[in-house]
Amino acid sequence: MVRATGELTDLSVLAEDWRQRLNLPSPEQAQRLLTSLTLLVAAARLWRDRESEDPEQGCQPFLQVRQQLWLRELRRLGCSGQEG
């Protein structure tokens, strides 16, 4: 996953690649697997100082995870119709 996401990557493309490589039956299953692994990596910590009682001082993230959400602006969106 780290090698595949060295640059900007669409998660649906990565999930489809995993579905084919792992022979998973559905795209949804590949998406859930990818989401689960991403959450585990984001939550994982590496202990620097095992003697420290303060979690902020004693550990750091295992990997730096950055996610971006891109939204498209819907300016000048019009709607016509009648309620009835």
Q: How far apart are CA 17 and CA 41, in angstroms?
A: 19
User: Dihedral angle at the C-alpha atoms of 6, 3, 13, 23, nearest 10 degrees?
Assistant: -170
Domain ranges (residues) in the chain: 11-61
The CA distance from 45 to 62, in Å, is: 5
Q: What is the pLDDT of residues 2-15, one digit of tens each?
A: 666 667 777 788 88
**Per-residue pLDDT reduced to its tens digit, 61-80:** 777 767 677 777 777 666 66
Distances from the Cα of 52 to the Cαs of 55, 57, 58, 59, in angstroms? 7, 7, 5, 9
